[in-house]
Amino acid sequence: MEYLATTSAASGRSADCLVVGVYERGKTGTAAAEIDKASSGQIRALIKSGDITGELGSCLVLRDVKNVKAQRVVVVGLGKSGNFGVDQFRQATAAAANAVKSSKSKDFYSYLTLEDVDDVSVYYLARHTVETVGDCLYVFDEMKSGKRKGSSSIRKIGLAIKKRGHNDKAMLGARHADGIVTGASLAKDLGNLPPNVCNPAYLAKTAQGMARRHKKLTTRVLNEAEMKKLGMHSLLSVTRGATAPAKLIVMQYRGGGKQKPVVLVGKGITFDTGGISLKPGPAMDEMKYDMCGAASVIGTMATIATLDVPVNLTVVVPAAENMPGGDASRPGDIVKSMSGQTIEILNTDAEGRLVLCDALTYSRKFKPDAIIDVATLTGACVIALGHHRCAVFSNDEALSQEILDAGKSAADKGWPMPMGEEYALQLRSNFADFANIGGRDGGAITAACFLGKFTDGLSWAHLDIAGVAWRTGAKKGGTGRPVPMLSEFVLKRAGALP
Ligand code: BES
Ligand code: MN
Ligand code: ZN
């Protein structure tokens, strides 16, 4: 994709397509007003006739507007003026991008970036535009036979800016967004691939392939024998019922000299049947998305490596399948984790924490500056927060705030959740140091407390992404979240943001 910024007036811009906005109650956006003037009232006339309502996300495609050089003008509704924030900006941009996509245009220029959006800078307006368009243009048709829909015809995205001096910030925003789209698209692909293709070995191959393409990136994959030597019996207990061998994937990106790395740990359960504590049948196919934590940290690595960010970033992925089988773990089994702590497995479906705890212990060797694990960990999290925000748990107030702020800036939001001894006590076991479940009540919190038993002395956060990693229903598919949030976090730490 090619990007450029333009200061030309909308009417004078030659292009396949322009995007301009109109608010409700007939208030025209900056560029719509200019086009209206140039065309002696064509926009106003359409507002009057009711063809343009200004309703958020509504679109009208105009052709051959008088005295306008561009072939098409997409007029998109911006909703109530005075209520045009980042979410509305992205919604309007997405609607316009979908209209442009079906118009067969090869380029388009968004003039929505001339609007006032809360106190959002030019850099972020450019970023939100390019990220939103990238999200709209994503297709996953690798597994379809016959003629594929394939990618869109759009090759160039133009961003209107108020003055020349904004050019560099807009272009930096577009470049960063392009990198984030690369990472998020990879995360979506890995999530969407079927579980008979995307198994632990496939994730490992993907990580190794990335290391071949990026000089500063190395990937190491540990096999089950190596994990056994390290004492990762908790992780290995999860894979016992599976035929596909588990992998521990370790990616190290060195762009930041001698700094301590940020470590991202992603749950990589490539299919979660529940094991002997078997899940019910309905929607079980969606448990192919149980590796979306892994997909998002690998995706973030793709973003950071593609953008050549001056930072040290390490990604650790415990990858396994949770299957029933003659040798599968049983409820009641007790295993010793790499940390030395013993765990009573009371439910084999609480497997995410069992693989993550050993990956967290292993990660200590990198002396992380901060460590964040990302996991589709609990159904309880979906009940608590729904599908809009992921849950943010942490033992470090400052780290938690940093992550929440990153989510807000990146429009990939989280929400803070509590932890504490009173919740951790729910994990009591009569026979081992603790159990792997703490009952239904506060299920997302007790899961976090379980992980907290392995992160003493670390600056650690846990993101439960069970509600945000994929969509169900007619639009079933990976969302690529929280790649934007994590990328923002790392870019900020690297001092790469304006
Ligand atoms: N991968 C699931 C969590 C999940 C379920 C995410 C549905 C998204 C949608 C996880 O491994 C799991 O099964 N968790 C159990 C934990 C319980 C047994 C304590 C759950 O949430 O039911
Ligand atoms: Mn499970
Ligand atoms: Zn799971």
pLDDT in tens, 89-105: 999 999 999 999 988 89
Centre of ligand 1 from the C-alpha of residue 147, in Å = 37
DSSP line for 116-136: --TT--HHHHHHHHHHHHHHH
Four-point Cα dihedral 232, 237, 240, 246, nearest 10: -40
Centre of ligand 1 from the C-alpha of residue 184, in Å = 23
d(CA 423, CA 443): 9
What are the start-end ranges of the H helices in 49-196?
86-102, 122-137, 167-192
188 belongs to a structural domain: no
Q: Tell the residue nearest (CA) to atom 3 of ligand 1.
A: 378
Centre of ligand 3 from the C-alpha of residue 347, in Å = 11
Centre of ligand 1 from the C-alpha of residue 378, in Å = 4
- Is the model's pLDDT at 26 over the cut of 90? yes
pLDDT in tens, 359-388: 999 999 999 999 999 999 999 999 999 999
Based on the residue annotation, tell me whether 247 is a catalytic residue of this protein. no
- What does pTM read for this prediction? 0.98
72 belongs to a structural domain: yes
Average pLDDT over residues 67-83: 97
Count CA atoms closer than 13 A to 373's CA, side-chain side.
36
pLDDT in tens, 185-214: 999 999 999 999 999 999 999 999 999 999
Average pLDDT, the chain: 98
Average pLDDT over residues 105-128: 97
Average pLDDT over residues 6-12: 98
Based on the residue annotation, tell me whether 353 is a catalytic residue of this protein. yes
109 shares its domain with 255: no
How far apart, in Å, are the Cα atoms of 479 and each of 253, 338, 482, 488?
Answer: 24, 33, 8, 17
Q: Which atom of ligand 1 is nearest to the CA of 322?
A: 11
> pLDDT at position 362, please?
99
Q: Which atom of ligand 1 is nearest to the CA of 379?
A: 21
What lines the ligand 1 site, CB under 6 Å?
A: 272, 290, 347, 349-352, 376-380, 382, 437, 443, 466
Q: Which of 175, 279, 364, 408 is catalytic?
A: 279
172 shares its domain with 205: no
- Is the model's pLDDT at 150 over the cut of 70? no
- Is the model's pLDDT at 147 over the cut of 80? no
pLDDT in tens, 28-73: 999 999 999 999 999 999 999 999 999 999 999 999 999 999 999 9
The 8-class DSSP code of residue 28 comes to B
**End-of-domain residue from the set 110, 145, 180:** 180
Pocket test for ligand 1, best of 347, 377, 378, 463 (most atoms within 8 A of CB): 378
Q: Which of 90, 127, 353, 481 is catalytic?
A: 353
Q: Tell the residue nearest (CA) to atom 17 of ligand 1.
A: 350
Average pLDDT over residues 3-20: 98
Q: Tell the residue nearest (CA) to atom 5 of ligand 1.
A: 379
DSSP line for 410-456: TT--EEE----HHHHGGG--SSSSEES---STTHHHHHHHHHHTT-T
197 shares its domain with 176: no
Pocket test for ligand 1, best of 349, 423, 437 (most atoms within 8 A of CB): 349
Centre of ligand 3 from the C-alpha of residue 249, in Å = 18
Look up the domain containing 58 and give its range. 2-180
The CATH number assigned to the domain holding 199 equals 3.40.630.10
237 shares its domain with 363: yes
289 shares its domain with 140: no
- Closest ligand relative to 391 C-alpha: 1
**End-of-domain residue from the set 122, 148, 180:** 180
Residue whose C-alpha is closest to residue 450's, from 312, 376, 355: 355
Tell me whether the omega of the peptide bond preceding residue 280 falls within 30 degrees of 0, making it cis. no
pLDDT in tens, 431-452: 999 999 999 999 999 999 999 9
- Is the model's pLDDT at 417 over the cut of 90? yes
197 shares its domain with 145: no
